[in-house]
A and B are shown apart, each in its own frame.
Chain A
Amino acid sequence: MDELLPRLPFADWIDTGVDWLVDTFGTVLDGFAEVLEGIVEGSVDLLNLVPSILLAFIFALIAGVISTRKIAFFSLIGLLFIDYLGYWYPMLQMLTLVLTSVIFALVIGIPIGILSSQKAGVRKVVNPILDLMQTMPAFVYLIPAIFFFNIGVVPGVVASVIFAMPPTIRLTMLGIQQVPKDLIEATEAFGATTWQRLFKTQIPLAKPTIMAGVNQSIMLSLSMVVIASMVGAPGLGEEVYRSVTQLKTGVGVETGLSIVIVAIILDRITQYAGNRKKKLGGNTL
C-alpha cells in the first residue's frame, strides 16, 4: 500500500496554511484580539464595580421583566448563593465570555440562517460546514485559535463562537422554512417584496424556533467555557479546570454547581422569551 499510494501530508499542508495566515494577517488579528479582549475585560471590570448583591438584584429584575417572577426569584437566590460561595468574580468573567460569544454567534449566525433559508445554493454550502463544525472535537478549534490570538480570553471566545453558532443557523433556517406555504403565497398575492415577506411574515413567525436556536447556542457556549479555560480563558471554567488538575472534589462540585445555576437562569429566560407569544394565541404555527 505504501508504495502504491504515498501518504499525502495533509497535516503539514494545514500547518503551512495556518502559518501563512498568521504571517499574513497577524497584525490584523492581533488588533482584533486586542479590541475583543478590551471589550470583554472592560465589561467584567465595569460589572465588578457594582456591589454583588445589588447586581444580583438587577439581574433578577431583568429576568423578571423578560420572563416570570418565579424565574426572577430563582435567579436572585442562585446568584446570591454563588456570591456566598465566593465565585462572584469568576462567574462575572464566565458570564461575559458566554454572552460575548453568543452575541457574535447570533450576529453571524442569524443572517447566515436567513440567507440559507432563501437560497438553495447557499444551503448546499452551509449544511456540510455546519456538520463539520458540530462534529469536530471542540479542542481542535483551540489549537489554531492559540496561533491566531495567543492564549487568554480571545481564543476562548472564538472557539465558543464556532462551537455555539450551528444551532442558531440551523434553527433560523428551519424556522423560516417551516412558515406555511399558503402564508408565503398570500404575501406574494398581495404584492410583497422579498424583504417585506421576510421581515413582516417569515421571521416573526419563525421567532419561537429562532429563539430555541439561541437557547441552544447559549447552552453550547456555556459548555465550552471549561474547555476554553485550557487556553487560558478566565472564569468559573478555569476554577473547574484547576480543581480537576489538583483533584479537589469539593471545589469542583462548588464551581460546577455555580455553572449549573447560571446555565439554568439563562436557559429559563431564553426559553420563556421564545415561547411568550404562544400564550396570547398569536405566535403558533
Chain B
Amino acid sequence: MSEEYINKKIIVKGATKIFGKSSGRAIQMLNEGKTKGEILKATGATVGVKQVSFDVNEGEIFVIMGLSGSGKSTLVRLLNRLIDPTMGQILLDGKDIVQMNKEQLRDVRRKKIGMVFQNFALFPHKTIVENTEYGLEIQGVSKKERNEKAIESLRLVGLAGYEDQYPKQLSGGMQQRVGLARALANNPDILLMDEAFSALDPLIRKDMQNELLQLHHDMKKTIIFITHDLDEALRIGDRIALMKDGEIVQIGSPEEILMSPSNEYVERFVEDVDLSKVLTAGHIMKKADTVKVDRGPRVALRLMQQLGISSIYVVDNANRLLGAVTAQDTVEAIESEKSLSDVIISDLPMVSPDTVLTELFDVVSTASIPVAVINEEQKLQGIIIRGALIGALSGDNKFINTDGTMDSTEQPITEVV
C-alpha cells in the first residue's frame, strides 16, 4: 500500500457507467469530450456516471447530492458493484473492487460495506430481529451469536423490544431504523446510505439525521450518504459532492459549497437554502471595539467619542469579556472618580459562535447594544449587529465571513445605539 492511501478509505478514479448497448462507441465519444446528450443521440447509450473521481477519508460523512437523474444513486451502487462500472477504478482500502472476482466481491459486501435503502427494503416475511440478522445469517454465523449481535444493533438504533414484530407493523421511521440496524449488525467499515431518509416525513427525518450523527460520532464509520435534499446534505455532511448529469460539479465542505459555488449550477442549487438555519453567529460577527478594564473611564470615553459609539465592551487582559459600559455611565464615573469596573453592565446578551441565525433573532431584537459572541473560555470573538444579520439573510456575501471566523484584517464596523 502506498502513502497515498493512508486515511483514504475510498478512492474513485474516473468511474464511468454507460447503460445500454454500443457502449464501446459511447466510451470513445466520452473520451472525445462529448456531452451526455450528444452520446445518447448518436449511440442510444445513456451515460449514468461520467468520469467521476473523488476520495473519501476514513471516518467522514461524505454526502453525494444531486437532483433525480443526476447519477447519484448509480454512483453509490458502483461503490459496492451492485452496478458494474464500465470504466474506472474504485479502491477500497487500496484494493480495486472493479478487479475483484465474485467471491472477493461477496466478501467485501459481507464484511466491509453495509447499505441502507431509500424504501427500507426490509424482508416482509421476516421479523425485525430476523431482518437485522440477515447479513450475519448469510455469512453462516451461528443462530445464537447473530441473535445477540442483532439485538445489540437494534438497541443502538433505539428499537429494543420490537424484535418479534414484522416490518409492516412498524412506522416508516422505525422501519428505516431496522434498515440501519441491519447494516450495522455486520459491523462494516463503510455505510452506504441511498436516500435513506428521503421517504420519511420531515420531523422524523430530522430525528434520524441527529441520531445518525450521534451514531457516527460513537462508531466512527465512514458514511457515504446520498440525498437530493440540500438542507440534509448541509446538516450531516463533512464534505459534499454535488452531481449533475453524471458528473461531480463541486466537492467541498458545506460552507465552501454555500459560500463559493464553483459555477452557476451550484449557485442556483444553493440559492434557495434557508440561510438562517445554515449560517451561524461566527459567520456574521464583526470585530468588536473593546477597552481593557484597567485603562480607566477616560480612555473608554475617548475611544467612544473617536468611534462615534455610545457603548463599548470591556475586557480583561486575557481578552475575556467582562461586560460593557455606556457613554453616560462613563461620564458619571469620571465625575465621581469611580473606576470602570464600578459602572460595568455585566448582564449582556451573549451567544457562542456556532449559534445558528434562527436562534439569534430573539436575542438580537431585544438587545439594546450589539450582541457579544464569546467562546467557551469567555473570550470575546466578535459582536453581532442588526444590519449584518439582516444583510446576511438577504444572501449578501459582504456580510458573511466565508470560513465561519472573522477576517482579522477587516475594518471594525460598529453601530451607534
Contact = CB atoms under 8 A, between A and B. Distances in A.
A284 B124 contact: yes
B109 interface: yes
A13 interface: no
B121 A196 contact: no
Contacts of A200: 137-138
A182 interface: yes
A131 B134 CA distance: 39
Most buried by A among B82, B113, B121, B168: B121
Given A200-B137, A277-B125, A283-B124, A191 B117 contact: no
Given A200-B137, A280-B166, A281-B166, A190 B121 contact: no
A201 interface: yes
Contact of B138 (A196, A205, A281, A282): A196
A185 B117 contact: yes
A189 B124 contact: no
Nearest to A197: B138
A222 to B, nearest CB: 30
Given A188-B82, A189-B80, A285 B124 contact: yes
Interface in B139-188: 139, 166, 168-169, 182, 186
Interface in A168-223: 180, 182-183, 185-193, 196, 200-201, 204-205
Contact of B135 (A190, A205, A281, A284): A190
Interface in B305-358: none
Given A191-B135, A191-B139, A186 B124 contact: no
Given A190-B110, A192-B138, A205 B124 contact: yes
Contacts of B108: 191
B121 A193 contact: no
A182 B117 contact: yes
B138 A182 contact: no
B125 A193 contact: no
Interface residues of B, number: 28
Nearest to B134: A190
B265 interface: no
Interface string B102-115: 00001111100111
B10 to A, nearest CB: 16
B276 interface: no
A101 B114 CA distance: 46
Nearest to B117: A182
A189 B123 CA distance: 14
B124 A282 contact: yes
A190 B186 contact: yes
B57 interface: no
B123 A183 contact: yes
A188 B166 contact: no
A282 B114 CA distance: 25
Interface in B16-65: none
Nearest to A184: B121
Contacts of B182: 190
Given A188-B82, A284-B168, A183 B110 contact: no
Interface in A268-285: 277, 280-285
B402 interface: no
B215 to A, nearest CB: 19
Contacts of A180: 121
Contacts of B186: 190
Given A191-B135, A193-B138, A283 B125 contact: yes
Contacts of A193: 106, 138
B209 interface: no
Nearest to B188: A190
Contacts of B117: 182, 185-186, 189
B138 A185 contact: no
Given A280-B166, A284-B168, A189 B125 contact: no
Given A193-B138, A282-B168, A188 B109 contact: yes
A182 B110 contact: no
A186 B134 CA distance: 10
A189 B137 contact: no
Contacts of A201: 123
Nearest to A194: B102
Contacts of A189: 80, 82, 109, 113-115, 117, 192
Interface string A83-94: 000000000000
Contact of A205 (B113, B121, B125, B139): B125
A190 B166 contact: no
Contacts of B125: 204-205, 277, 282-283
B121 A282 contact: no
B86 interface: no
Nearest to A205: B125
Contact of A182 (B80, B109, B119, B168): B119
Contacts of B107: 191
Contacts of B119: 182
Contacts of A192: 138
A190 B138 contact: yes
Contacts of A280: 166
Interface in B75-101: 80, 82
Given A186-B117, A190-B182, A284-B168, 9 more contacts: A185-B82, A189-B80, A189-B109, A189-B113, A189-B114, A189-B115, A191-B109, A200-B137, A281-B166
Interface of B: 80, 82, 106-110, 113-115, 117-119, 121, 123-125, 134-135, 137-139, 166, 168-169, 182, 186, 192
13 contacts: A183-B123, A186-B121, A188-B82, A188-B109, A189-B82, A189-B192, A190-B110, A190-B135, A191-B138, A192-B138, A205-B125, A282-B124, A283-B125
